[in-house]
Every structure is written in structure tokens, then in C-alpha cells.
Amino acid sequence: MIGAYQKYISKEDFDKYKIKPQYNDVLMTRIGPIGVCTVLESNEPLAYYVSLALLRPNTEVLNSRFLKYAIESLNGRKELRKRTLVNAVPIKINVGDIGKIKIPVPPIEIQREIVKILDNFTELTAELTARKKQYEYYRDMLLDFGVHEGGGTVECKWRTIKEIFDVRNGYTPSKSNKEYWENGTIPWFRMDDIRENGRILSDSIQHISNEGVKKSGTFLANSLIISTTATIGEHALIKTDFVCNQQITCFSLKDEFNSNVDIKYLFYIFFKFGEWCRNNVNKSGGLPIINSAKLMIYKIPIPPISEQERIVAILDRFDKLCNDISEGLPAEIEARRKQYEYYRDRLLSFEELRK
């Protein structure tokens, strides 16, 4: 299905098209990410760029959505790779070679059943993604206190990062010194920990020894971390004493705020802070980083502790509704995607008939 159009051409240019897209045609990318397909669901006038190929199946013997799934299947991708010009920049497949790819064509009734099964998987993944977006919408709405002191509908004070947190950068002990890494018991967090295990963490994938810790000591439990270089703006709440690598900055709540600031409230605020970080990137030698001076004056709204706790309770419930209890919604979506790909490839795996 085609979404909102972003570019238009004149009627005169459109009339020059020898073949005009129509209902049930398949558009396939043939330059760059090759083999991504969409099925046209209307006959409205539509132009397409040279990076796309138009495929018009004989719908009496080939279902359009079956063709899309067949091309995107493991077998279809293999067939495309055989004919892809990998030395071209960007890589591409010539239109003439697309017609040479082989796909299975079972009876049309079987095709329709396969399409029905795969469409159900697609719709479920879309539903999960929509639920995640709904959660993000309500989270942002609850945390919207306006953009300055006195803004928003709830009375709150605004404090800078520098006022609220002790901020320290992470580091990597020398990998050449085995003493720092052998038999390590102190969690050493990297972006991989957030990617694999979520945003509330009590242990890390890798550990270091006491000898690998700097004189300033470990970072305190119940601190927040956020990536401030390379992959920007990803954050987590760490529930144990720890250290982290140099791509990550640690934010430990100052003692004077312990009684009137809920660290879980700040954890949710860091979703907005992470977005601000991504929008305020500098590049140094090609590596994206955040200006530390600018970061330190970023202001955070601090409503009364009762309001913070109310917000946390609501967002925790949303989180529980929107996320699989053990793995989280992103993992659920990923699992559904893998399940979909497995069944797509199995359903479309037909033995080639041999004479």
C-alpha cells in the first residue's frame, strides 16, 4: 500500500509513461535496498521513479500479494542476489534481469491461503507497533509541563542537569591488562546491554575487576546512563553499582534531591532528554557527540513528589500493558517478525518440479 505522496509531476510528464501503474501492480525497489515490494490498491494516477520496477502479474495464475511475499522470501532474495550488480554504486538489478528470477507458482487457491496467513502476521506486527506508539504518545503528554518555568498545567520547578546530577563519563579499562578483566564481578555497561536486555538493568554482559576501576570509584546504583556519542540518546536506569564505557555518560542524583525526586520519574523524563540529545548533535572528526556544556544546562521539570509518583504509576501501568512482561514490546515485535519470516519462507518453499 502506498502512503502519503511527497512529490508530484505534471500531467504532460505523466502522459509520457508507456506503462502506467494500476490496481494489483507490484512496485519493487531495484536500486539500493533491492527487493522491497508494495502492492497498489487503487487505480489513481501514480508516477514512479527509476529506482522502482513495475511488475504486472497475470492475476488469473499469480496473486499480486503472493508475488510480493515470494520476492521478499528467502528464495526470492537469493534469486535477486544472483543478478544484482554488486559493484555498482549503489548496488542495483537491471529491469531485464528481474524477469529472470524464478518463484514458485502453486495453484491460485493455495496462493490465496498463503497470503491470508502472511497478511495476518503482518497485521499483528502493525498492531503491536501501533500500541507502542500509543504508549509513547501518552508518555509524552504526561511529561509535557511546557517549555519554561511556569509552563504547563502542573506547578513545577525547573532544574538544570548540572543542578540535579553528578555527571561522569564512562571509560574502558585497558584490554591489554588481563588483570582488569579476568574474574571480573563489577558490571561494565555498553550499548549492547540496552539493546539486548532493555532499559532497566541490574547486571551487564561484561564485567571488570576491582583493579580496573578508576580511583574515583564505581558509579552509584539507581543512576541513569545515556549514550552521548556514536548512537545518541539511548538511556537506561541501572539498579546496581557499576561502570560503563566511554560512549556513555552517567547521571547520579545528588543527595539533596533524594527526598523530593523519584529516579523512575527521571527515567521517563530521559526519553524526552534523549530526543533532545539526538536533535543537538555536533560532529567531531565525523563522530557525532553532544556538547557537554550545552548538555549541563538542559532543564528538567520537577513537579511535587506526589505528582511524580502519580506519573510513574500511570506510565508503569502503560509499560506493563504495552510490553511483554519479560522481554518487552520491541522483543515481541522482533519475535513476531522472525516468526512471520519463518512461516513466509516455509510456506513459499516448494520443490522445483524436475522432468
- CATH topology identical between 1-104 and 157-302: yes
Tens of pLDDT, residue by residue over 272-313, are 999 999 999 887 666 788 888 999 999 999 999 999 999 999
Q: β-pairing, 235-238 with 200-201?
A: parallel
Give the least confident one: 140-154, 158-172, 194-208, 298-312.
140-154
Residue-level pLDDT at 231: 87
Q: Which CATH superfamily is domain 1-104 in?
A: DNA methylase specificity domains (3.90.220.20)
Please state the domain extents for the chain.
1-104, 157-302
Q: Which fold has domain 157-302?
A: Adenine-n6-DNA-methyltransferase TaqI; Chain A, domain 2 (3.90.220)
Residue-level pLDDT at 327: 45
Average pLDDT, whole number, for the chain?
86
Within 10 angstroms of residue 152's Cβ, the number of other Cβ atoms is 14
Tens of pLDDT, residue by residue over 107-116, are 898 899 888 8
Position 86 confidence tier, pLDDT thresholds 50, 70, 90: confident
- Amino acid of residue 210: N
Position 351 confidence tier, pLDDT thresholds 50, 70, 90: low
Asked if 156 and 142 count as a contact pair (C-beta separation under 8 A), the reply is no
Helix axis angle for 108-142 and 263-278, nearest 10°, is 110
Q: What contacts 81, CB < 8 A, 6 or more positions away?
A: none
b (16+ CB within 10 A) / e for 49-58: eeebbbbebe
Percentage of residues of the chain with pLDDT beyond 90: 56
Asked if 240 and 210 count as a contact pair (C-beta separation under 8 A), the reply is no
Measured at the CA of 329, the angle between CA 327 and CA 333, to 5 degrees, comes to: 105
Residue-level pLDDT at 325: 36
Give the least confident one: 86-95, 201-210, 260-269.
86-95
Tens of pLDDT, residue by residue over 23-70, are 999 999 999 889 999 999 999 899 998 999 999 999 999 999 999 999
Residue-level pLDDT at 6: 67
How far from chain centre, in Å, is Cα 163? 32
Distance spanning both ends of the chain, measured CA to CA: 39
Residue-level pLDDT at 188: 97
Which one is predicted more confidently, 251 or 350? 251
Residue-level pLDDT at 233: 93
Position 206 confidence tier, pLDDT thresholds 50, 70, 90: very high
Tens of pLDDT, residue by residue over 111-146, are 998 888 888 777 777 777 777 787 788 788 888 875
Dist. CA 242–CA 213, nearest whole Å: 9
Closest among 149, 167, 148, 146 to 296, alpha carbons compared: 167
Dist. CA 265–CA 9, nearest whole Å: 49
Which one is predicted more confidently, 86 or 241? 241
Residue-level pLDDT at 127: 73
Dist. CA 353–CA 104, nearest whole Å: 10
Dist. CA 37–CA 40, nearest whole Å: 10
How far from chain centre, in Å, is Cα 302? 29
Alpha helices in the chain (DSSP H): 11-15, 64-72, 74-82, 95-98, 108-142, 161-164, 191-197, 263-278, 292-296, 305-322, 329-347
* DSSP string computed for 228-244: -BSS-S-EEEE-S-BEE
